[in-house]
Amino acid sequence: MTQDADKTTHFGFETVPEHEKAGRVQGVFNSVASKYDIMNDVMSMGIHRVWKEAMMDWLAPRPGQKLLDVAGGTGDVSFKFLGRAGHGHATVLDLTEPMLVEGRKRAEADSLTGSLDWVVGDAMALPFPENTFDVYTISFGIRNVTRPQEALNEAYRVLRPGGRLMVLEFSQLPNPAMQKAYDLYSFNVIPRMGQAIAGDRDSYQYLVESIRNFPDQETFLSMVRAAGFGQAKYRNLTMGIAALHSGWKL
Ligand SMILES: C[S@@+](CC[C@H](N)C(=O)[O-])C[C@H]1O[C@@H](n2cnc3c(N)ncnc32)[C@H](O)[C@@H]1O
C-alpha cells in the first residue's frame, strides 16, 4: 500500500500524481451525485440496467448471502442483489458520501434499510476483517480506483473461502470499426449531455476518457488472476462495450 510521491497515474487523459487521483475522482462524484441515476439512464439509454441484470443472472444470488458492493454509489447493484436473493445483507461502500446519501434515500423509499449498511471507504483499504463476505461486487467503479490491482487484492482478502468476485466495467470493443463509432458517440455526445442535463461537462469528459483508458478484457482477466482468484472468466456485454469478470476465492 505504499504510495511513492513521484508516481503518476491517469485521471481521464491527464497524467496526475497518484496521491491526487482519489480527491479528483471524489470531486467528480460529489458533483454528479444528485443527478447520477437519471444521467445513467439517459446516457446509456437504459442499457446499464440490462447489464446489471446480466450481472445478477451470472451471480445468481442466494438467500442469506452477505454482499459487499464496493464503489456501490447509489446502491443499484445492492438493491438488485437483495431483490434476487430474497433475503440477505448488503454493505454498500463508496469513497463519496453524497452518492451514499442518494442511495440511502432510495432504500428508505423502498423500505429496505434493515438489509443495508452504507460505509464511506476506499476500495484499496477496506475497513473489514479477512474472510467476511460471500460476494464482492464492483460495478463501474474499478476504473476510478488509483491502483485497481490493490482493490482486487483487497476483494480477495475480505471474501470468505468459496466467495465470489464479480466486476462490471466498461471495456474495449474487439472490432476497431465499432470502437471508432462508439468513440465518436462517447466523446461527442456524452460530455454535451452532461452539460445540458447536469450542467457539468468536465465530469462527463472525465467519464469517457476514463472508459477509454481502462485495460481490455484479457489484461483485466490477468489482474483478477494475479489477485489470487480461481476459475476467472469474463463475458462481453453489448459486443464488449462493457464486460463482466468473475472469479472465486477457492
Ligand atoms: C460510476 S459510479 C458507480 C456506482 C454504482 N456502482 C453503479 O454501478 O451505478 C463510480 C463510484 O465509484 C466510487 N469510487 C471511486 N473511487 C473509489 C474508491 N477508491 N473506493 C471506493 N469507491 C470509489 C465513486 O465515488 C462513485 O460513486
The CATH number assigned to the domain holding 126 equals 3.40.50.150
Q: Does residue 203's CB lie within 6 angstroms of at least one atom of ligand 1?
A: no
Distance 169 CA to ligand 1 centre (A): 11
pLDDT at 52: 98
Instruction: Give the residue with greater pLDDT, 137 vs 198.
Output: 137
Residue 121 domain-assigned (yes or no): yes
Distance 99 CA to ligand 1 centre (A): 8
Residue 4 domain-assigned (yes or no): no
Residue 186 domain-assigned (yes or no): no
Residue 191 domain-assigned (yes or no): no
Residues 121-145: pLDDT tens digits? 999 999 999 999 999 999 999 999 9
The mean pLDDT of 58-87, rounded to a whole number, is 97
Residue 28 domain-assigned (yes or no): yes
Domain, as residue range, for 89: 24-174+204-248
pLDDT > 70? residue 2: no
Which residue's C-alpha cell is 487521483? 21
What sign results for the dihedral spanned by CA atoms 86, 75, 41, 235? negative
Residues 33-51: pLDDT tens digits? 999 999 899 888 999 999 9
pTM of the model: 0.95
Residue 8 domain-assigned (yes or no): no
Element (H or E) spanning 166, and its range?
strand 159-170
Residue 18 domain-assigned (yes or no): no
Residue 14 domain-assigned (yes or no): no
pLDDT at 112: 84
Residues 85-105: pLDDT tens digits? 999 999 999 999 999 999 999
Number of domains in the chain: 1
Contact 217, 236 (CB under 8 A): yes
Q: Does residue 145's CB lie within 6 angstroms of at least one atom of ligand 1?
A: yes
